[in-house]
Amino acid sequence: MNILEKEIEDLVQEYINTEKENVFNLDKGILLRQFELGNYGVVDLLHINYLAFNNPDEREKHLTITPIEIKRGKISYNEVGQICRYVKGIGSFISKKGYHDVFNSISVRGILMGKEIDLSSDFVYAMELIESISVYTFSLNLKTGLQFTKEDFGYTRTDEGFERIKNKQLKTVFRKLININNGYLQTDKN
């Protein structure tokens, strides 16, 4: 099934506005489309959640901003850079405008979604290190509609290239490391 990115945006927006199981862990809020973020780019969807409640000492005000980048195909390393750019741009905007003085807390996290993950790209390394980005894959069919899966990390490349490492060379290196380690262990026992 061939679908345009704009059509996926429409479906994701509808899903966020009506979802019952809260797959994306987004509270009710404002959802903006094609949000211009200066030189940082155009965010597909921008979710803004404002939570205020009365504390006995003062009024607590919390803001969560979530840029959402949607790809109709594979998610690769380029898209990781793109969503990180949006998160950084929003953080910079908040800082430069002095909004930290207005809210008790402001958090910015990103959501990256696509049909699948490109396991032959550097994506597999980057996502292990970025805690503020969540990744979802989606599937679309006529019977069940749009379905999302939150992806866990621990990816490995599909083409790790280990076959190019000479076994003898690798065994020699590991043998030296084991001997060094055994030397430290014997020293520690004395």
Q: What is the pLDDT of residues 136-168, one digit of tens each?
A: 878 877 787 777 777 776 666 566 565 665 566
- What kind of architecture, by CATH, is found in domain 5-159? 3-Layer(aba) Sandwich (3.40)
- For the chain, the structural domain boundaries read 5-159, 162-190
pLDDT score recorded for residue 105: 78
Q: What is the amino acid identity at position 117?
A: I
pTM of the full predicted structure? 0.73
Contact (Cβ atoms closer than 8 angstroms) between residue 134 and residue 25: yes
Q: How far apart are CA 92 and CA 118, in angstroms?
A: 29
The angle subtended at Cα 159 by Cα 84 and Cα 68, nearest 5°, is: 20
Average pLDDT, the chain: 78
Q: How many C-beta atoms surround the C-beta of residue 4 within 10 A?
A: 9
Contact (Cβ atoms closer than 8 angstroms) between residue 115 and residue 76: no
pLDDT score recorded for residue 117: 86
Q: How far apart are CA 7 and CA 4, in angstroms?
A: 5
Q: What is the pLDDT of residues 55-76, one digit of tens each?
A: 556 666 788 889 999 998 888 8
Helices (H) and strands (E) in the chain, counts: 4, 9
Strand 74-75 to strand 116-117: parallel, antiparallel, or no bridges (unpaired)?
A: parallel
Q: What is the pLDDT of residues 5-15, one digit of tens each?
A: 888 888 888 87
29 pLDDT band, cuts 50/70/90, is confident
